[in-house]
Each structure stands twice: as C-alpha cells, then as structure tokens.
Structure 1
Amino acid sequence: MIHLRQFLVLSILYGYGTLSFALTVEAHEDTLVIDENLSLRDVIDATYQHYPQQAIVKAYEDEVQALEQRSTSWIAGYPMVYLQYIDDALISNQGISEIQSGYQVPVWMWGQKEASQRVTDQSSLAAERYAVALKHEIAGLVRNALWNIRITENRRDLAHKILAVADELLRVVRRRVELGDMSKSDMLLAESDALEKKSLLMQAEAEVIHANKAYQSLTRTRLMPGRFEEKVASDRSLSDSHPALAAATASVERAQAEVDFVRLSKQGNQPSVMIGTDSTSVQRSRDYGTGTNLVFQIPIGGDDWHAPQVAQANVILNEKLAQREALHRQLEKAAHEAEHILDLDQKALVVASRRKEIAEEQLRMSKIALENGEISMIDYLKIQSTAQTALKDAAERNILVLKDISTLHQAVGISP
C-alpha cells in the first residue's frame, strides 16, 4: 500500500515537471552590457535627455521666454491704428467734414510691469525646479530598474546552482539504482525534482529578460553600470529642499505672482496714449485745417467685473497650495515606510544569515544520512527544499537591504 502511494506521488510530480518543461517559452536574449566606467548618475542623465517629459520642460522654457518678452516690452498690450471720417451730409449738410487718425499705444499701470516681471521670474524658477524634480523622478525609476535586475539575476544564479545540485543528485541516485543500492522510485523522485528545478530556472531566466527589457525601455540603452550601491546618508530627514517639494513650492509662488498681476490688469483694459492728427474742412472747401490729436485713456472702476478674474487666479493658487500639502504628506509617509522597511530588512538579514548557517549544516547531515540509508529520498528532498529556501532568502535579503537604502534616499530627495 505504501509503495502504491509513493508511485502515485512520483507520477504526479514527474508529470508536473514534464508539463512545466514543455510549456516554457524559449527565451529570447535581451542582454545588457556592463560598463565599469558608467555611473548611476551617467545613466540618469542620459535617460533624462530622452525622457518623454522633456517636451513639457521645453514648453515651460518657451513660456518663460514669452513672459520675458511681455515683461520687457515698453507697451502693455496691442497697439492700434485709429482712423475716423466725419461729415454732416445726412443732417445739416453744410459741407463740414473731418478726418481723424492716430496711433494708440497701451501703457503699463502703476506697478503692473513689476508684477509681470515677478510672474516671469517665478515661472523661470518653477521651470528649473520642475526639471530637477523630473530628473529625481527618473532617478527613482532607474534605481528601481537596476535593483530589479540585480534581484532577478541573483534568483537566476541561485536557480542554476540548485539545478546543478539536483542534477548531481540524480546522477548519483541513478548510479546507485544500477548498483542495486536504491530503488527506482528514489530515482523517479530525484528526476522529478531535477525537472522541477529546471522549470524554476527557466522562469528565473525569463524574469531576468523582462527586467533587462524594462531597463532598456526606460533608459534607451543596453549599457548598465557595474556598481550602483549607495552608502546610507547621515541626514535622512525630509526637508523643503526635496526636488518634488521645491517644484511644488515654486509652482505656488508662480500662482501667487499671477494673482498679483491679474489684480492689476483690469481684464486687459489698459491705460493708453493716442497721438494723431485731426483735419477739418468747412463749406465743402478742399482745404483742410490740420491739428494734432493727443488722447489719454484711463480706465476707472469696474471692480465688479474684474473680481471674477482675480477669484479664478486665486482658485488656482489654492489648488497649488493643497497639492503641495498633499505631496508633503505623501512624501512623509513614503520616507517613514522606507526607513521602517530598511530597519526590518537589516534585522531580517541577521536572522537569514543564521538560518543559512543552519541550512548548510542540515544539508551536510541529511546527505550523509541519505547515503547511509537513515532517511528516505522523499524526506531528504523535503530537507533540501527547506534548506534551499533559507539559502535563497539569505542571498536575496542582502540585496534587499541595499535596495532599501536606495529607496530611502529616493523618498527623502537624495539624488545620486
């Protein structure tokens, strides 16, 4: 009865391993080239140059140039040419006619030109800080992509070693079966285990390919730095100098400058000066008397009509303030979580290192026990599986600690 159960278990395991092997898609190579002279900062800079959001940076720069042209202009709006003809043909019909012409130029209100310049200056600062924040965001993406590659490569390398152990075990068991020291069921167990390990290796290789492709898609290059580990910064506190917060603050200041400018703009109804001529002819004479025409136009009142424009600009300002506060809270949360995860993984690494030592000893002892016939093949494979899990955890935990440092730096605004 016991042999029948073992046979059923072996058949299931063997069938599963064979199916996994058959369904595995043949890997396509997306290999990366390690450049020891390439730094993490170099990759980030290169990625930034080809990042899609560069179009937004360029748009902000164009806006700053346009605002600078407005602020440095001597006139405050669109100049106009004025031309008017008047006669009395339809009413008194005394032959009086008048021709007026002029050139009308809008002029700045008191303090309006300075307010326009403040909008330009704050827009320029906001554009610069947006570019810095964008580069910091890209740094986070590059960091994450590189550490994903490191993790998947580590899993693949461990899968290679585990498969090598399984293949060696199968070779030894097959030889002992031939000598009559072990049963064929033990050989089937060992073979099923080897096939399972081969399937896991294929999955690990596929994950490496996906991680490599993600890195290439992000950076648009096949070169990657050989070393990108970061030392823990002494100051890991979140401050207003964080690139994202600095950009949000600049956006608030730009919106405030816009409110001040709109408050002085009077819906675009600028004071104006018109200089021209006024030519008059009396009693159908072809002779015109020509004089100089000088007109000043100064808008007064109208605050009820102007108030909605100011209110709309103020709404935008308060939206920017709310967005900055929400961002600050998100960054506080992210920084706290990153610090906590780093602390947990550092403690877990100590535990994993001890488990690794125990696992290595268990593997040594169980191998001797199997050779002496003290334990069965299925018990040995269980011990081996548990030990290999401990070994994999120790190897990956060390990488996770290094990745946690990178994640913490990203959260508090430290760029490479």
Structure 2
Amino acid sequence: MPSSSASRPDAHSPLAQWLAYLESIHSRPIDMGLGRVREVAARLELDLDAVKIVVGGTNGKGSTCAMLEAMLLSAGYKVGLYTSPHLLDFNERARVNGESASDAALTGQFAAVDAARGDTSLTYFELTTLAILRLFAQSALDVVILEVGLGGRLDAVNIVDADCAIVTSVDLDHVEWLGDDREKIGWEKAHIYRPGKPAICADPMPPQSLVDYAESIGADLWRFGRDYNYAGDKQQWNYGGRSQRRNAMAYPALRGANQLLNASAALAALEALRDRLPVPQQAVRLGLLQVQLPGRFQILPGQPAVILDVAHNPHAAAVLADNLDNMGFYPYTYAVFGMLNDKDVDGVIAKLGDRVDHWYCAGLPGPRGLSGEELAARLRARGVKEDKDSSIHACADPAAAYAAARESMGEGDRILVFGSFLTVAGVLASMRAARPARAD
C-alpha cells in the first residue's frame, strides 16, 4: 500500500527526498505488468505528440540511444531521451534537448504522478517512467527516444506505442524475469514491436521467437545482414540500407568493436523514419563524432590508462574482452570488479579471467550486492591464479578497490573498472569527490 499522504513530499521537496519516498511506496522493487501503469497513464491523459523510438535489447541499448540522440540533435530536432539506470545523478535518466532535466522539473512531475495514482501502487521505476513521459509530453518535442528498462513485454516503457522499435541484441540476463534461454528472452523483447511499424533487429542471429512474433503481428521487420548492413576499413565505414546509403563516415566517438552494429541499427531506424524525420548526412557525421556515453568502454584521459565498462553479463563481457585485446600491450591489468548476486558471475569471470592479472573485488551495496569476500571466493572457485604475477583482493567498496589498485600498479599498467553500473558509479563518485582536493 502507498505511504500515508502525510509522509508524501510535495513538488518543492528536494529530489533526494522524493527518490527515497518512491523507493518506499511499493512492496517489491520489480513488479512486472502494465495494468497499474496504464491505469495511471490514463488518469494523467498522457499523450506524447512526437515521433517515438523505443530501444530494447540485452546489451547496446544505451549506446544506440545516445547515437540516435546525437544525430537527431545535430539535425536540429527537439529531442527527449529516457535511459536507465543512471551512473551518478538520477537527472541523467531524463534529457531534453541534450540537457539533463533539473531537480525542479523532475519533482514537479513526481508530485503530479503521485497525486494521480491515488490508491494505485506503483514501483519506483513505474512512477519515474510516467513522470519523465509527462515531462516529455509537456516539452514540445519532435522525437522521443525511450530505453526499455527490463525485457520489453511487461516493462513500463511498453505502454508507449513505438513508431519505430529497435532490439539491439538478445542474450541471457534477468533470467528470473525473462526466461532461461534466448528464445524466451527474444519473445519478451519482441513485444516492443508494433503492427505495421518498423521493427529493427540488430542481433546478427536473432532468436526465431523474435522473428515469428514480428511476423505474426505484421511488423515491418528490418534484419541486420538482410535489410541493412555496414562495412568499414581502418579509416572510415559505410552504411547500406533498403534504399539509402551513407558512405565515408568517421567511426563513432564511442569506442569498441560492437559500436558499428549499434550505429547501423540507429541509421536503419532513421532510414525507416526518414519521411517524418529526415536527417542529412552532415548531421549523421557530426552526431557520431560528438556522441558521449559514460561507462561504455570509456577510456579516461591521461595516465594511467583507466577503462570504465558497465558490462555485467557474459555477452557484454565477451565484447569487453575483445576491446581490451585491441588496446595494445600493457604489462599488467588491474581490475576493480563488483557484481550483483542475480547476475551470471561465473559466466563473466569465464570471459575475462585470462585478461586480468590482479583482481580487486569490490563489495556493492544493497541486498543484491555481493561482498568483496564473496566475489573473491567465486574467482578462486573458478581457478583464477594467485602467484607472483597475479592476485585476488577483497575490498569494502569500489572506491576502496580503486584506491588499492592505484597504489599497487606499476608505470604502464592499466586499470579496468567493470561488473555493474554500481561499480563504475562508485569509482566515478570517488573521483568526483577527490577533484576539489586536487585543484587546490
């Protein structure tokens, strides 16, 4: 049941107070289903008068959303972008015309949705999703880009009928909610597709369940390798779609071998929508050059080499392993490694175990967070070596693990921070806290 009205913040209450309240008003943090959220959306008379692009998938969602936003902004459109989770500040989840929403804009919308829900209980994700959709509806936007939180079929974002939907990849994650094989997960994710609307699939080997579902509802399925593709050399790359080519493009500013797959999916969506959202070639080039997304194979400037990656499942870890291999030689790799207990920890270790020499296992907060000691035990159980050139350490949190790794590393070594959004966020927060001290 919701908390009493006496404990409710108001539109002028601090954002932190609102977020704490929203975490307290529903009995479960995840409660799949669209009935409650649709009911409150109807009370709010929520209507997004903009082109709507919905992006789902196991990995690559955030990168694809960021590239779409950058290209559309470069083309002069008014753009709303909703992503989750955030790294440092909740405001990152809602961007209007390239800027994070202000605290006041968010708390005003939280108050409106909280009032409209009455006795209907909403999860933190459901209420914040409705609030951000309402913010977008009131912002006179040309296009909104909405990242699916979990799965697709029963995710709160799926109350929106997409004008174009993208599934970036299908692999094992959230198996307790979505199923334990790619066919079950693909079926869940395919439910963001809509009859008669462009349905982009960037997975080179999509589950048959996804293809069958798209065909059964009459979606216009665009498959990578059949309806669109890319090719590249060391200097530039080209996109080829059903009837549009984009040639001689610089590589996206986001690093990693998989980013051309994400970029080509974004360009397929723009091709499918070009009658409503024409995007000139110069805007595509500029957008891909300027796109930024923290925590996706992000290499921080300066020395030592520090790589931040939110990879938290085996599919993402395999991509990360390839990207590390392409970086050149480093004597030793130090990993700040933290994971949640509902993830495939052993599968992630299997993909990266031989890429790391020294492990600094970081405890993560909350009931889902593994302690440093538990994570270290999982590494040892997997047979990860400990000798004169390799080690495993248990640390209280990501900040402590990062500090210990920095203390131990030698000149020319690199640090990899990965395993969860919380791991990367913990290290970034410690860096932000340290910045004023370094400036003095």
- Greater C-alpha radius of gyration: 1
TM-score (norm 1): 0.23
Structure with the greater relative contact order (CA < 8 A, sep ≥ 6): 1 or 2? 1
**Would you tell me which structure has more helix in proportion to its own residues?**
1
**Would you tell me which structure has more strand in proportion to its own residues?**
2
